[in-house]
Amino acid sequence: MTSFTKILAPAGLALMALAAIPAQAQVEGRMATVDVSRTIIGTSAFQTAYEQVNQTYAQQNELRRTKAQERQTLLQTFDTNGDKQVNDAELAAKQNSPDFTKLQTMEQEIQALSNQIDGARIYAVEQIIVQFGAALQEVTTKDQIKLVLEPGSLLFAAPEADISQKVTTALNAKVPNVGVVPPAGWQPSREGVQIYQEIQQRLALAAQLQQQQAAQQQANPAAPVGR
């Protein structure tokens, strides 16, 4: 099976490999691109898992929000100059106070709750990653593709070179669903954490763009959506 770490090769190495391919091989072999994080986000297993995490860890999520609000309220007592910010000097002034110890405890509790929720999501993502190599191999064999790169490693690639959706379809067949409760002793892999971070960044950006579009639509209701 193709090692997933090879798919995550740095862009510089990918470009060097492309430049090293003989001209004849470039003509005879078809090349393609795969956006790994977008491929995983598109799977049914991923989308269902994220919904399940919200349900399964609803109590932890609510507790995290409550503690975050309590932390913010406590921090306001550190703001001695009234600028609505807490600088290093204000933190240092409270370092030996019970409030500082309480703040540290809150932050540790918030982090522990976040780790539970993030861990569940990473666990779900890793179960999809395990089948990524097989899904990619299936698509490349069927389409007779000789070289696959991530879009970020290329200066230009025609839209038809993107086989991300095909790999997503193959993953849907291989991984119809995943679990969201990690077993005892489970630890996330480096690849799983890396892909999870990329996914979260992509989802955050998509949410931001959606909010901007909604705000623009409210400001100008007559404007067509998406233009």
User: In whole angstroms, what is the distance from residue 205 CA to residue 164 CA?
Assistant: 19
Q: Is 226 among the domain residues?
A: no
Q: Is 225 among the domain residues?
A: no
Work out the average pLDDT over 138-163.
90
Q: Is 169 among the domain residues?
A: yes
**pLDDT value of position 123:** 98
Q: Is the dihedral of CA 162, 164, 166, 170 positive or negative?
A: positive
Residue 5 has pLDDT above 90, yes or no: no
> pLDDT digit string (tens) for 186-203?
999 999 999 999 999 999
**Number of folded domains that form the chain:** 1
Which of 48, 60, 64, 65 lies closest to 124, judged by CA?
48
Q: Is 35 among the domain residues?
A: yes
**pLDDT value of position 108:** 97
**pLDDT value of position 75:** 93
Residue 20 has pLDDT above 80, yes or no: no
Q: Which domain holds residue 184?
A: 4-219
Work out the average pLDDT over 21-37.
69
Q: Is 224 among the domain residues?
A: no
**pLDDT value of position 28:** 53
How many percent of the chain have pLDDT more than 70?
A: 85
Helix (H/G/I), strand (E/B), else coil: 146: strand
Residue 221 has pLDDT above 80, yes or no: no
- CA triple 85-90-93, angle to 5 deg: 165
Q: Is 136 among the domain residues?
A: yes
Residue 127 has pLDDT above 70, yes or no: yes
Q: How confident is the model at residue 27 (pLDDT cuts 50, 70, 90)?
A: very low
> pLDDT digit string (tens) for 168-192?
999 999 999 999 999 999 999 999 9
Q: What is the pTM of this model?
A: 0.79
User: In whole angstroms, what is the distance from residue 89 CA to residue 48 CA?
Assistant: 46
Work out the average pLDDT over 150-162.
86
The region of weakest confidence among 23-27, 85-89, 92-96 is 23-27
Task: Report the run of H or E that residue 31 belongs to, with start and end.
Answer: strand 30-33
**pLDDT value of position 153:** 78
User: Two tokens at 207?
Assistant: 């949410």
Which of 212, 216, 178 lies closest to 50, judged by CA?
178
User: In whole angstroms, what is the distance from residue 39 CA to residue 46 CA?
Assistant: 10
Instruction: Tell me 215's DSSP state.
Output: H
> pLDDT digit string (tens) for 52-72?
999 999 999 999 999 999 999
